[in-house]
Amino acid sequence: MKLLKTEQTLSQESIPLIEIPKPLDQLSESEIIRKACIGKLMTYTLNNLTSQFVDRGFQWLLPVALSQSTDPLWPDPGASIEKRIEVDIYGKRVRTTASMIIHKLIAASYAYPKLFILSPNIRIEKAERAKTGKHIYEFTQLDFEVKDASSKEIMRLVEDIICSLLKNLKRNMKDELTFLCRVDTLELPKRPFKVYDRKDLESKYGAEWEEAIAQETSDPVWVTNISREFYDFEDFKTGKWDNYDLFMPQYGEILSGAKREWTYEKILRKIERDNVDKNNYALVLKVAKQGKLKPTAGGGIGMERLLGWISGVKHIAETQPFPRVPGTVNEL
């Protein structure tokens, strides 16, 4: 893998114009055939990944759509949320799921030491993100969590799963990959994947390091030590975060994960430091205070981004039967 271009070089390059994906009823005959082809790859990918998790002893949990407690998405610098959707039900204020991270921490601590969920996430992105090709306001995450696991164990697990998926795709979905011109360009990556520290990338590329690493790498790479929400493990002595994001060439981050915080004092301190409303995380604090929150590690794979990379689409909403492009609301 090579990282050659500088931040200045990247800023001088023109940003390609990305066409906004159209709803099904507006597609031409050839576009419908292409959409169906991408759908077959999604079906195969979902079947392969879920089977791999089940074969490794993971329990498959059902998702939650409404909850009092969901991901605060703060102070993650990558978040760009225009509004949160909240409703009153049964005398309580609930939110649509932004991610099931809080549910995973509780579930893994109590009854499901190895779990995964195909979790719908709703994040109303700002409309200007429509043409990045990487953002949608509804997406599905393959969320997973493992009790008493380390970051390295999770990273190796992900590498095994991704490489096995790609190997099987190239063997069993050759016609579809050929149709999408990906049969030769979709290569099996070497393991272990390269690992970069976020601070080193910031020093080299500045604030736009995420775009730089995505454009410059020819292989999947890990980026660690990313300042994020209170539930990711942070070493107060060194200031380093024990977390990891997986970046794919051109498509950027497709997975976000971490070792988790589990002690009451640290969780409370970080919630208060970040000005997060602790009333929204009362159960996590209660369970942690009782010593019932256990050490876990895990992550979430964005299925549309993963399939976008696999199929080579220009906009990840192309992988959705009903595109969810920021700033656009279709009838279906």
Which residue matches tokens 């050659």? 4
* Average pLDDT score over residue span 104-109: 98
**In the block, residue with structure tokens 């490794």:** 56
Three-state SS at 243 = strand
Please tell me the distance from the alpha carbon of residue 65 to that of residue 88, in angstroms, as a whole number. 14
What distance in Å separates the CA atoms of residue 250 and residue 15, rounded to the nearest whole number? 12
Residue 201, CB-side half-sphere exposure with 13 Å CA sphere: 22
Local confidence band at 16 (pLDDT 50, 70, 90 cut-offs): low
Quick check: 140 and 304 in contact, CB under 8 A?
yes
Which amino acid is it at 216? E
Q: Residues 118-149: pLDDT tens digits?
A: 999 999 999 999 999 999 999 999 999 999 99
Distance of CA 234 to the CA centre of its chain: 20
pLDDT in tens, 245-274: 999 999 999 999 999 999 999 999 999 999
Percent of the chain with pLDDT over 90: 90
What does CATH list as the number for 23-319? 3.30.930.10
Inter-CA distances, 298 with 4, 214, 324, Å: 32, 22, 26
Question: How do strand 252-259 and strand 243-248 relate by DSSP bridges?
Answer: antiparallel
* pLDDT, tens digit (0-9, with 9 covering 90-100), for 275-301: 999 999 999 999 999 999 999 999 999
pLDDT for the residue 74: 83
Question: How high does pLDDT run on average in the chain?
Answer: 93
Question: Which tens digits make up the pLDDT trace of 60-99?
Answer: 999 999 999 999 998 876 778 888 899 999 999 999 999 9
Residue 7, pLDDT above cutoff 70: no
The full set of domain ranges for the chain reads: 23-319
Token pair of 164 as six digits: 């096995």
Lowest mean pLDDT among 12-16, 33-37, 133-137, 164-168: 12-16
Q: Taking the model in full, what pTM does it have?
A: 0.93
Reported confidence tier of residue 12, pLDDT bands at 50, 70, 90: very low
User: In terms of Cα–Cα distance, which of 205, 200, 227 is closest to 8?
Assistant: 205
Both tokens of 46, joined, read: 């979902």
**Cα(97)–Cα(70) distance, rounded to whole angstroms?**
6
Distance CA 231, CA 75 (A): 11
Please list, in sequence order, all residues whose beta carbon lies within 8 angstroms of the beta carbon of residue 55, skipping any fewer than 6 positions away. none
